[in-house]
Amino acid sequence: MLYFTLLIGLFLVIMTTKLTQKFKLSSIWLIVGQIGASLIIILFGDLEVSYINQIELGFLTIPYSLLFLVGFTNVMNIEQEQQPLILLLPCISLLCLSTAALIMGNSFVSISGLFAVLTIMLCRSVLGGKVLGRPFTISLGFVIAVLSLSLLKFSFVTIYIPIFTLALPLAIYLFLQNKITSAQSMIISASVAVLFGLLMFVIPFNVVWYMVVGATVILAISQLSSKYRFI
């Protein structure tokens, strides 16, 4: 049932995005479509997070799951059309999710993740050097959000996978692409994604979190000096 609801939700996200672009509708309709797709997954696919580290969410179960799905779906909501090179980042994230799912025994995430990677590779070969539109990138974000939420039901620490292998590298890529070439910025952001992906399977998640917080603090402090400022 979860596979079927994922396909329905994915279709709704793609159609809503296409109609919003075609008729130049307000972005609120884009969110409405994503909320509708997320509710289909939650209500009919029985995909929701009812507890976090043994803490019952109660009546917050559906709102939290809805916020998670819509939030991570829009990680890939990029207004500007992008080169197919950017597909490397969701591929890395999906591979990490599939690997974690295999370890945890979640067949839905492992199969769906690998199938999504194969689909991306097929689209990459078909598109060639053509730019990517928002329907495709947002649909990728929706798939990653659904798979991440499915793993989140088993272990809360898996939330670090989409954050550190997709959201953070994508932010780095978008920040650097106007300063250096797209290929160079992708190499840097993909290296960050691979590094964090490997670290998550080697060292404890809390250590990775402390490393990220520490690096962020150091970066923020360094910007106070004009000598090391790059922002």
| Secondary structure of the chain in HEC code, one letter for each residue | CHHHHHHHHHHHHHHHHHHHHHCCCCHHHHHHHHHHHHHHHHHHCCCCCCEECCEECHHHHHHHHHHHHHHHHHHHCCCCCECHHHHHHHHHHHHHHHHHHHHHCCHHHHHHHHHHHHHHHHHHHHHCCCCECHHHHHHHHHHHHHHHHHHHCCCHHHHHHHHHHHHHHHHHHHHHCCCCCHHHHHHHHHHHHHHHHHHHCCCCHHHHHHHHHHHHHHHHHHCCCCCCCCC
What mean pLDDT comes out for the span 121-128?
75
The answer to whether residue 94 scores a pLDDT higher than 50 is yes
Name the residue among 33, 31, 43 with its Cα closest to residue 5.
43
**Average model confidence (pLDDT) for the chain?**
82
Which amino acid, 149?
L
The answer to whether residue 167 scores a pLDDT higher than 80 is yes
pLDDT band at 227 (very low <50, low <70, confident <90, very high): low
The answer to whether residue 112 scores a pLDDT higher than 90 is yes
pLDDT band at 134 (very low <50, low <70, confident <90, very high): confident
The answer to whether residue 228 scores a pLDDT higher than 50 is no
Strongest mean pLDDT among 53-57, 97-101, 122-126, 173-177: 97-101
Percent of the chain with pLDDT over 90: 32
Name the residue among 203, 195, 193 with its Cα closest to residue 157.
203
Strongest mean pLDDT among 47-51, 129-133, 153-157: 153-157
Which is more confidently placed, 216 or 177? 177
CA atoms of 145 and 106, how far apart (whole Å):
15
| Secondary structure of 95-126 in HEC code, one letter for each residue | HHHHHHHHHHCCHHHHHHHHHHHHHHHHHHHH
Amino acid 9: pLDDT:
92
The two three-digit tokens of residue 132, written as one number: 């990517």
The answer to whether residue 65 scores a pLDDT higher than 60 is yes
Write out pLDDT tens, residues 7-18: 999 999 999 999
Torsion of CA 206, 210, 216, 219, to 10 degrees: -150
C-alpha neighbours within 13 Å on the C-beta side of residue 22 = 7
Termini Cα distance of the chain: 47
Amino acid 46: pLDDT:
79
Please state the φ and ψ torsions of residue 55, each to the nearest 5 degrees.
-100, 115
Domain boundaries, given as residue ranges, for the chain: 2-154
The answer to whether residue 169 scores a pLDDT higher than 50 is yes
CA distances from residue 231 to 179, 186, 190, 217, 218 in whole angstroms, order as listed: 11, 19, 21, 15, 14
